[in-house]
Every structure is written in C-alpha cells, then in structure tokens.
Amino acid sequence: MRASLNLETYQGVMKGGGSGDVVKHGRSSASMLYKVLAREEGVPQMPLGGPKLPDAEINKVRDWIQGGLLENAKSKPQGPAVQSLDFKPTGLNQPTEPAMPAALPALNLSEPSRPHPVTALAASPWTPLLAVAGHERIYLYNISTRAMLGEFAFPEGIPYVLRFSRDGNTLLAAGGKGVQLGDVVLFDVKTGKRTATVGHEMDIVLAADLSSDGKLIALGGPGKVVKVFAVADGKQLYEIKRHTDWITAIEFSPDGSKLATGDRAGGIYLWESHNGGILLNLAEHKDSVTSLSWRGDGVLLASGGEDGELVVWNVQDGFPVATDAKAHIPKAKGVVYGKPPSGVLSVQYMTDGRLVTIGRDKSIHLWTSDGKPISATQPGDALLTKVTASWDSKLLIAGDYQGNLTLWDGKQTTMLKSPTLLSKAR
C-alpha cells in the first residue's frame, strides 16, 4: 500500500499505487482501500501502527466506493453507470386465493422420545403459515395465532429442506436417510395431499427448490451433482457436474429464469434454469455455503457460509455489493484460545426486501436490502439452525438445535417450545 500511493488527494487515490488500483468502481469488497481500513484478514492494516478508524468513517468510504467514486457533489460516477439496487416490491407470483390448510387428518405416528432439531423451516410468502421439520413429519403452524394446524407425514426420514412455492400453494419437502435414500416431495398446502415425488437418490437430499412456474425441481446433496426434474412426469431433464463437493444450497430466481447453487467447498454458480447453461461463477466464500436467498425482484442474491461471511451479490455482473466477514462471531466467554468459530448458518430475504440471518453467535440479525446491519437479538442458549420471516415481514422466526422456535418482532423475542413437546401436550 505504501509504494507510490498518495491518499491526500482524490487524484492520488484514483491513480492508485505501485501494486495497482486501490478502489474499484461500485465494488467495496474488492477495493484494497476499504479492505485495509476494515482490517480484513490477509491485508495490511491502516492506519499503520494506529487504532482502527471508527466504523462510521469506514462505512463512509464503503458507500463512496459503492456510489461511484464521486469527487464532489456535482461529479458524475466514474466507470459504468451505477445500477440502482433499491427494492421495489412487485406482485410477482401473487395468487388470487392464498392457500391455508383445511382440516388435516391426524397422523398415526409415535412422537420421538426427545425434541428434534429444526433441520428445516419455511414460511408461506402470502399467509401466516409456518412449516417446521420434525422426525418423519412436518409441523404446520398459524404464526398469527401461534396455533398448530396439523402435520404432513414424511416417512422418507428427516426433512432437510422446506420451501413454499412462490405462490404459496405448494410445500416442497426434501431430505431422507443418510446413505439410504433421498427424495423431494410436493404437498398441496390446502389438503396435505402429495402431488409429486422425484429424486429417489441413494443418499439424503440436502438442497432443493421448485421453480416459480411449478414445472421444475432442482436437487442436490452428497453426490456433488445438481439434478433438475420435470414435475409433470418426474423425468430428469439435465444435470450439472461443475461442483467439486456436496451440494448444500439451491434456489431458483423469483422469475424462474436462473438457478443458484452452492457447495461445501464455498463454490456458488448461476445457471440458466431451462437448460443448465452457466451464467456466472460467484467466487468469494472460503468454506461451505450454508444458504442462498434471492431478493423478491431477482436483482440481488444473498449467501452465507461457514467462513463467517455474509455476501450480497449483484447478479447482473456477478460482483459483491456487500461482504461482511464479522456478522456472526460469537462473544468469547472465559479463556478462549484462538478465534471463536464463526459461521452464517441461514439467510433469508423478506418480502419487504430486508435480509435476516442467523449464525454461530446464536443471534438473529436484521440487515438492509443491500447488506448493511440494522439490529440483532441477544444471544440465546441454543445454537440457531434455520431462519425465515412471516409473509408480512413483521415477524422473524428462527429454529434451534433443541427444537424450539424463537420469534422476534424487531423489539422483543418470544419462545415457542419444540413442536414435539406441544404435540405431546395436546
């Protein structure tokens, strides 16, 4: 950073130093100036030998870079035109009659002896309906009344994925039994009837999604291959073999034109959903990608990873809009050797465009649409595993390793005990 670099003038910053440019138009996460001020790992520290600048000052530098490197108030952005990332809600995929379950028949299944960790969680995008994974079943809640509505049977094993269709009329459940079988099942939300089953894998399905038009199912898992099936007849249409490790995250874009996939090695790719043609390689994560979520307008994609990074991607050019490597670092208690393990475990864009995440700090975090922190809960007692948001974006729901649900309205948190315990109490 020292070699022939002058930070005293605008022209000096734009000229860069002996090692090249120090700022990149619209890309703070790739700009060395921002990285050294934020003191990211693997880069020199600035100011050299002094304390770190206040976060507010560092954020000003970040916003200046993201805003197009303006010299003054009358300047025009340097480089290509800066695309607006403001979120404008649309009626895309809105149904005429949002579905809620009718009277569901009771399941003739014995309850497990102890609560099951929340391995999957999903909220309807149009109604106060919540789906929670259990052992060989899926629990359904009305989150407005906090009442349990019933259960869907999942004899295939443990659901590791729950997703409502974009219109909310179908629930996708995927999972299985390790080294035995893996399936993706579609349920009619209103009746609970199975409408399709695809996959029949030799191992569990760890990631899956249903396209917005309801015609395609994509799945992946330990086999390192993404497979895409036609819902109508269950036939496999194509497969993607680009990943080098387990497939851990899959999600179609809101309009169904793109497919995002992530793996255990940190790789993320964007594909054309109709034929699997590659669009972008999103290279940033250094450890397993745990979660992917598209913003409702399809302009931004959020990813979380075990490397502790939360990344918000502009899918038009494949560059990060924001990267936060310190989002979920646990607070050390007592004597700790080395760095406490970090990790972003689940991310979800809300219907109003904001972003919610959970991680290894046992807290729920709320972010602006483009990845700026807003607020967070205090750490809980148990590790949080999955997070989602209510259809009206007024309530955030996180499941934990003990099977409980934490509800947060932005001010107060309340706890719902494990569905297993509630079911036994009925």
**Are 199 and 205 in contact, with CB atoms under 8 Å apart?**
yes
**Are 323 and 284 in contact, with CB atoms under 8 Å apart?**
yes
Does residue 139 fall inside a structural domain? Answer: no
Residues 53 and 199 in one domain: no
Structure letter (DSSP) for residue 36 = H
pLDDT(269) > 70: yes
Over residues 405-423, mean pLDDT: 83
Of residues 183 and 321, more confidence is placed in: 183
Of residues 321 and 2, more confidence is placed in: 321
DSSP string, 246-298: -EEEEEE-TTSSEEEEEETTS-EEEEETTT--EEEEE---SS-EEEEEE-TTS
The Cα 345–Cα 328 span in angstroms is: 9
Of residues 339 and 258, more confidence is placed in: 258
Of residues 31 and 125, more confidence is placed in: 125
Residue 421's pLDDT is what?
54
**Are 205 and 190 in contact, with CB atoms under 8 Å apart?**
no
Of 144, 179, 183, give the one whose Cα is nearest residue 161: 183
Share of the chain above pLDDT 90, in %: 64
Residue 1's pLDDT is what?
45
List CB contacts of 108: < 8 A, sequence separation 6 or more: none
Does residue 324 fall inside a structural domain? Answer: yes
Does residue 164 fall inside a structural domain? Answer: no
Residue 297's pLDDT is what?
93
**Considering only 156-160, 226-230, 322-326, 361-365, which range has the smallest mean pLDDT?**
322-326
Over residues 219-236, mean pLDDT: 98
**Are 291 and 251 in contact, with CB atoms under 8 Å apart?**
no
Of 63, 66, 65, give the one whose Cα is nearest residue 55: 63
pTM of the model: 0.84
Instruction: Give residue 336's pLDDT band: very low, low, confident or very high (50, 70, 90).
Output: low
Residue 319's pLDDT is what?
87
pLDDT in tens, 70-80: 878 777 765 55
Residue 242's pLDDT is what?
96
The Cα 104–Cα 147 span in angstroms is: 14
Does residue 330 fall inside a structural domain? Answer: yes
Share of the chain above pLDDT 70, in %: 91
Does residue 10 fall inside a structural domain? Answer: yes
Over residues 126-130, mean pLDDT: 97
**Are 190 and 98 in contact, with CB atoms under 8 Å apart?**
no
Look at the chain and report how many structural domains it folds into.
2
The order of strands in the sheet holding 137-142 is: 121-123, 129-134, 137-142, 147-153
Of residues 98 and 198, more confidence is placed in: 198
Does residue 101 fall inside a structural domain? Answer: no
Residues 50 and 192 in one domain: no
List alpha helices for 67-135, DSSP H. none
The Cα 198–Cα 234 span in angstroms is: 6
Structure letter (DSSP) for residue 331 = P
pLDDT(130) > 90: yes
Of 273, 146, 148, 145, give the one whose Cα is nearest residue 209: 273
Residue 133's pLDDT is what?
97
Over residues 278-301, mean pLDDT: 96
Does residue 395 fall inside a structural domain? Answer: yes
Dihedral of alpha carbons 45, 284, 165, 94, sign? positive
Instruction: Give residue 276's pLDDT band: very low, low, confident or very high (50, 70, 90).
Output: very high
The Cα 326–Cα 267 span in angstroms is: 20
Residue 360's pLDDT is what?
95
Does residue 394 fall inside a structural domain? Answer: yes
Domain boundary among 65, 82, 99: 82
Residue with tokens 């989150």: 143
DSSP three-state, residue 215: coil
Instruction: Give residue 40's pLDDT band: very low, low, confident or very high (50, 70, 90).
Output: confident
* Per-residue 3-state assignment (H helix, E strand, C coil) for 358-420: EECCCCEEEECCCCCEEEECCCCCCCEEEEEECCCCCCEEEEECCCCEEEECCCCEEEECCHH
Domain boundary among 56, 82, 108: 82
Work out whether strand 194-201 and strand 129-134 pair parallel, antiparallel, or are unpaired.
unpaired
Instruction: Give residue 37's pLDDT band: very low, low, confident or very high (50, 70, 90).
Output: confident
pLDDT in tens, 173-212: 999 999 999 999 999 999 999 999 999 999 999 999 999 9
Over residues 315-343, mean pLDDT: 81
What CATH code is carried by the domain that includes residue 302?
2.130.10.10
Residues 258 and 376 in one domain: yes
Q: Which domain holds residue 58?
A: 1-82
**Are 297 and 312 in contact, with CB atoms under 8 Å apart?**
no
Domain boundary among 46, 67, 82: 82
